[in-house]
Amino acid sequence: MKTSGRKKSTFPAWHPNFRISDDLPDIKAVRTDFIINIGSVLLALAILFAVVYREAVIHDLKSDITALKAEEARLAPENALALRLNREFLQEKQILDDLKKFFDIPVNVPSFLEDIAEIRPGDISFSEIAYQEVQRTEKDDVSRSYRIFLRGDTRDLNEIDILKETLDELPYLDGVNASITEGANPRNPESNTFGFSIEVRFQPEKK
Burial pattern 152-162, b for ≥16 Cβ within 10 A else e, equals: bbbeeeebbeb
Question: What DSSP assignment string belongs to 44-55?
Answer: HHHHHHHHHHHH
Residue 100 confidence class, pLDDT cut points 50, 70, 90: low
Average pLDDT value for residue range 97-102: 66
pLDDT at 153: 92
pLDDT at 31: 59
Residue 18 confidence class, pLDDT cut points 50, 70, 90: low
Higher-scoring residue by pLDDT: 192, 4: 192
Main-chain phi, psi angles of 3, to 5 degrees: -85, 155
pLDDT at 79: 86
Question: Model confidence over 48-74: pLDDT tens digits?
Answer: 888 999 888 898 888 888 888 888 888
Average pLDDT value for residue range 170-193: 84
- Residue 77 carries which side chain, given as an amino acid letter? P
pTM above 0.85, yes or no: no
pLDDT at 170: 82
Average model confidence (pLDDT) for the chain?
78
